[in-house]
Structure 1
Amino acid sequence: MRMAPILIAAMAVALSACGVIYNKSAVVAGKTPQGEVELREITPQSLRAANAEPYTPRPLPAYFSQTAQARQDLRAAAPAPIVDRPARPARLATILPPPVPAQSYRIGVGDVVMLATPKSGGTVEQLAGLLAAQSTRQGYTVQDDGTISVPGIGRARIAGQTVEEAEATLFRHFLDKNIDPNFSLELSEFRSRKVTVGGAVGAPGVITIGLSPLYLDEALAEAGGVRDVDPAYALVRLHREGTLYQVPLEQIQSRAGAERVQLAPGDSVFVGSGYDLDKAAAYFEQQLKLGTYREGQARMLAAQVEMRRAELSDQRESFAARLDLGAERRDHVYLAGELPKQSRYALPFGQRAMLADALFDEAGGVFTQLADPRQIYVLRAARTAPDRVTAWHLDTGNAAGLLLATRFELRPDDVVFVAAQPVTHWSNVVNALVPRALSGSISKSAD
């Protein structure tokens, strides 16, 4: 019996010389061959310092975040506020509409023209019934048939004419009624030429185009300005005669890289996120239903939206294939120690991952027979001094400590290490010794 301890000790020395003794991994603070290691406890107070290092998650491509719902679900004309976007999207494309031809204003249905005559002279008496006795100015609205009805003269068609052409038309009507044509005509209200502005603006609605050209930036200002959308994502879409155009909001505000966009009568403008193609389509569809455009234009709009959706789908499938093949760059965290699975955890696109995500999503958890839940470490090298390592220590011996794991943010190239239980270390030693010892005994017996 006295020989047993001596034999076991001799066996341990012999096997140690052969490199069999199990050496467990551990986190050692202080100066080490790998660099200077600082040990810090993860507490509610230290979380702020641990999460303070600047980090922007890799964003998904902009086309991957655009909505692509079924058309029957696209019924909201106004966009929801854009909040909590993780990162600036890729550069938004600019598709400008063709220039609006310069032309004189032509009177249209709904416009109001003002007919004026001198206060003195026989004209007022001759126009009795034409103009009010107490006034030398009278307004007339152009009716749906394109005419105005002037008492004593009758109906005169002036829609589609310039002011000068309308004066000539009324001049002939005055002569036909043997009335002195001493009058002047002017436009007082512009109601026939208009554009609609909707989406993320302060006052969505209809804006009229007067004698002066109306530009896109002026229309946005008149609609109350852009609201509730991040300028980095904001895109102004314009529908004109069945064709979609778009201009990034930042480009409109800075007027960089493009001329001012002049609007044409019948244009429809929608302001929203570059991701909200479907919401823009819903708004334009609503304008079509209100009779702003012809049925043929509605079909053209629907075809263009479907083409955009198909293009987005192709881009997403290509991205997913590149991701599977490892052709897309990813940020990773590495998992080591006594875990069910030694692996690396890919940090998600567009959002931050927590320590608990890596432990329970990729590693399979830490509550095993081998792992010591009191010794969970996140090893992080300093960005400015790679030879300095901070070992953030989390003790989840009390399971309430796992709440801290749900708030500890991971960074690219972090190493998550879980130490072994003390009994696991000696179990590994025995497991290493016994098979080698038995093998030696069997060999001697055979000899």
Structure 2
Amino acid sequence: MKFSMSIALLLRSTPLLLLALVGCASTLHFNSSDSAGGENAAPPTELITEQLIQAERQQNGQHAAQDLSRLIVSNPPPYVIGSGDVLSIVVWDHPELAGAGMPAATANGDNGIAAMNAANATPQGFVVDHLGRIQFPFAGLFKVEGLTEEQARTQLADKLAKYIANPNVTLRVLAYRSKRVYIDGEVKSPGLQAINDIPMTLMEALNRAGGLQPTADQSRITLERGEERYTINLRELVQKNISPGNVMLAPGDVVRVHSRDESKVFVSGEVISPRALTMHDGRLTLNEALGETGGINPLSGDTRQIYVVRKTPERTRVFRLDARDTGSLAMAEAFELRPKDVVYVAASPLANWNRSLSLLFPGALTQAFSITKP
């Protein structure tokens, strides 16, 4: 009783400050409909309902429905020879043709430089030149670029048949140097990967790069092919019964595995532990975000005002959840957050009133409390 009387006497002594106090104690509000207040007008608030969640799911599905059919190959074609490859050619029963191949690296009279280049020297063989040709005894110059090993072997045997009876030719690629892909991002060994006779699928490329790092976001793997860009979600592919091993890479492709740190959600306001949260492979619900930050502060949080602020290329969208409504927990679990979303829990009117009182009358509550002490 003494405590209440002390506060009342303190407030009655400053009526003008009391009016200011009431104004400062108002809680956070956004407009419930479009406003004509100009460029600085607050964005309209959209109440989170089952209808809105369904509309968001359909919109997300349209954005995620990227056509990946050009990347899916069930039966990959065999490797074709390209410029820069080194071929090993053997004509059986004709050893005089075995040493006709020349090393790709030019000879150098400096032994020191030759020793330094020894580790990187190309194996001795027939190098496909920039025009896609090789030169072989009796056959002369002929083009092998774009041919499989079997096709190149057949053509060479036909040319040698004019000079050698029933030539038995063995032709294989000794060094694969014409086709490469680049792997970057959250893999253990980023860098160039040469395409060889083993089909270069997405999973093959990731495995050759040492596999994904623990920080890798499996929902955001970017594949750049020329001017086109594809975003691949590994888990979504599996859910659609599409094997990631059927995603075929092409020469010159750039694959980047993004980090989970690039997809964060920021939770602030009246929660127990405000902080930035990392999404779980591209997925995080509003309920999970509130749970991972300890939930709404029971002493100061306003369960009627849980906001999600989302910046889109078109405009800023603000969603509000009223946790008092029936089924609000189910809607919070179904509401999917996006990277860079800001979740804000507003303070209750009583908490705002208390803080405004503390600002206007520093130590007033402490002094009033001390008056009641015997």
State TM-score, norm by structure 2: 0.49
Between structure 1 and structure 2, the one with the greater Rg is 1
TM-score (norm: length of structure 1): 0.42
